Amino acid sequence: MKHIIKHIALSLAGISILAACNKKLDITPEGAPTSGNFWQTEADAVSGANAMYDQFDNENFYGRGYWWFINASDDMVTGRVKAEGDNIKNFNSSFIGGSYTETQWKMRYIVIKRANDVITHVPSINMDADLKNRILGEAYFFSGLMYFELGYTYGDERAGVPIVNRDSITGDKPIPRSANVNLVYEYVEKELKQAAAHLPYFDEYSADEYGRPHKTAAYAFLSKMFLYKKDYAKAEQYADSVILSGKHQLLDNFADVFTIANNWSSEYIWSVYSNSKAPSGWGSILPGVMLENKGWGKYNGWGYYMPTKELYDAYETGDLRREATILKPGDHFTFYGADQVYASSNSLSGYQFRKYMEPFSYAGGIHLSPNGDHPTTDLNLPLIRYAEVILIKAEAKLMQGKNADAEINMIRHRAGLTDVTNADMTELKRQRRCELAGEWANHHFDLVRWGDAQATYAQPLHGYSGSVIWPARTFKPTIHNVWPVPRSEVTSSNGIVKQNAGWE
């Protein structure tokens, strides 16, 4: 990945020049592949492939922006007043068109367009065969992953998202949404299978290529996609493709997963990562966003996404994950090389996520962005990790009427808990919640796909003191199971891209 970032800097530096010539990287969702004088050499292929990555360091891509959607769950609250974020959590449509979530759709179609360019043009380039194969695998992976994220965010049985036909030239004409989300998932399946066929295993990469897609990452997202599609047999099948590969295992200590030293451990599958230590910082902004506002005078934390008492109380007595995940008043932790006792002057709940605090423990802030207005760290933020794949398999087995004790007890063992027998979906839901709290695994969409969101959000949320900190909310599954299409996409398409029903 060091290689990636170095070349991204070079390729992005030339974007304005290239765009002026042929608009190769001047991306819109409806745009057609271009050729011009580019896509001629191996260097062009590498540069074009590396351009797929540049959106990931945007603070709104896997950081603050999309996290307002994840913040809708009962696991967390907006740590301090933020009107747009509060409206998102309350399913109030007045947030549509705002800054945080408006670009989620466009940014993912930018990545799709760049992936499509690679898949269209790289096969004809005379270059090293192994490198060509890997670059094509990266493009298929990103295409599949972006469509999966778009599909479950905006699509359901009534409408999917537009699927760009990379084999035809459509100019700038808007593309209607697909008829339903399963059509999107079928496309994701094709793309990720191609990715898996082309990509190496992670352990076949040298360290300077860490952070590129690899075979079990494609299998893992296939497994999760089939879970969302409710094709549980295939969800189990592709989870087994990861598990039986022998490439992954759980770390012995849960807290060790969220340390810089274990960025590339056996539990790693796919993360937000960048080591670009430019003034703008590197990696995901989420740890800084979750940090106490103003970081007790030492770093510019933003004070958002604070755990609730409901999440804290979901853990069984003796569950080692609870204290590794959540800071409560009176807890000791290391901050800037010194022992500190947790207390907050701004957290609405009184809690803070501890899961991503390790980068802040070092004296001198050596693992933190030097740009205090972009509070990123060099900790990998997991998007999917091995423990989630085990839980995907467990859920898929339970939904098929099979016994999933083996998988669930693997997760319980590491948490310091005793075995269960004949575990049911109630146990699965608790383990998924407690294992993956505060992660991109996305508890909000877990509640949606389980059909639990309406009842869960009808209950108020509480803070450390036991007082109500967020009132009960009205969640209407026919509307709120999907998020609204960004207003700019509906407007710029002249209504060809339709809004989700109820969000108009």
Indicate whether 303 belongs to any domain. Answer: no
Containing H/E element for 339? strand 338-341
* Burial degree of 339 (CB within 10 A; 0-12, 13-18, 19+): exposed
> How many Cβ atoms sit within 10 Å of the Cβ of residue 214?
28
Tokens representing 425 are 């979906």
Write out pLDDT tens, residues 450-460. Answer: 999 999 999 99
Instruction: Classify residue 350 by its DSSP letter.
Output: S
* CA proximity to 255, closest of 333, 320, 318, 308: 320
Tokens representing 463 are 């803070």
Looking at residue 275, its pLDDT comes to 55
Q: Which CATH number covers residue 399?
A: 1.25.40.390
pLDDT over 80 at 35, yes or no: no
pTM for the whole structure: 0.92
Looking at residue 279, its pLDDT comes to 60
Looking at residue 273, its pLDDT comes to 77
Contact 484, 503 (CB under 8 A): yes
Q: What is the 3-state secondary structure (H, E, C) of 176-211?
A: CCCCCHHHHHHHHHHHHHHHHHHCCCHHHCCHHHCC
Write out pLDDT tens, residues 114-152. Answer: 999 999 999 999 999 999 999 999 999 999 999 999 999
List CB contacts of 426: < 8 A, sequence separation 6 or more: none
Q: Does 51 or 276 have the greater pLDDT score?
A: 51
Q: How far is CA 451 from CA 19, 405, 455, 478, 479, in A?
A: 46, 23, 9, 11, 13
Looking at residue 326, its pLDDT comes to 98
The dihedral built from the CA positions of residue 116, 121, 127 and 130, taken in this order, carries a sign that is: positive
Cα–Cα distance for residue pair 490/164, rounded to 1 Å: 16
* CA proximity to 200, closest of 214, 179, 183, 220: 214
Q: Does 495 or 6 have the greater pLDDT score?
A: 495
Looking at residue 272, its pLDDT comes to 86
Indicate whether 499 belongs to any domain. Answer: no
Looking at residue 171, its pLDDT comes to 60
Write out pLDDT tens, residues 147-160. Answer: 999 999 999 999 99
Work out how many domains the chain is built from and give that number: 1
Containing H/E element for 386? helix 386-399
Lowest model confidence (mean pLDDT) among 165-169, 308-312, 424-428, 464-468 = 165-169
Contact 132, 122 (CB under 8 A): yes
* CA proximity to 60, closest of 114, 1, 115, 105: 105
Write out pLDDT tens, residues 58-106. Answer: 888 998 899 999 999 999 999 888 899 999 999 999 999 999 999 999 9
Q: How far is CA 129 from CA 42, 52, 123, 133, 190, in A?
A: 10, 20, 10, 6, 22
Write out pLDDT tens, residues 469-503. Answer: 999 999 999 999 999 999 999 999 999 999 999 99
* Burial degree of 294 (CB within 10 A; 0-12, 13-18, 19+): middle
Looking at residue 169, its pLDDT comes to 60
Region for 198 from its dihedrals, namely left if φ exceeds 0, alpha if ψ lies in -120 to 50, beta otherwise? alpha
Indicate whether 38 belongs to any domain. Answer: yes
Tell me how far apart the terminal alpha carbons of the chain are, to the nearest angstrom: 42
Looking at residue 56, its pLDDT comes to 85
Indicate whether 259 belongs to any domain. Answer: yes
* Mean of the per-residue pLDDT values of the chain: 91
Range 396-420 average pLDDT: 98
For residue 77, give its domain range.
2-267+388-438+446-492
Q: Does 372 or 219 have the greater pLDDT score?
A: 219
| Number of residues assigned to the chain | 504
List CB contacts of 105: < 8 A, sequence separation 6 or more: 29, 150, 154, 161, 485, 486, 489
Indicate whether 403 belongs to any domain. Answer: yes
- Bridge partners for 77 per DSSP: 306
Tokens representing 392 are 């995907």
Write out pLDDT tens, residues 167-194. Answer: 766 566 899 999 999 999 999 999 999 9
pLDDT over 60 at 200, yes or no: yes
User: Which residue is listed with tokens 């009132």?
Assistant: 471
Indicate whether 353 belongs to any domain. Answer: no
* CA proximity to 310, closest of 424, 466, 452: 466
> Dihedral (C-alpha) 293, 295, 300, 303: value to the nearest 10 degrees?
-20
Indicate whether 255 belongs to any domain. Answer: yes
Looking at residue 25, its pLDDT comes to 28
List CB contacts of 102: < 8 A, sequence separation 6 or more: 486, 487, 488
Indicate whether 295 belongs to any domain. Answer: no
Range 234-252 average pLDDT: 98
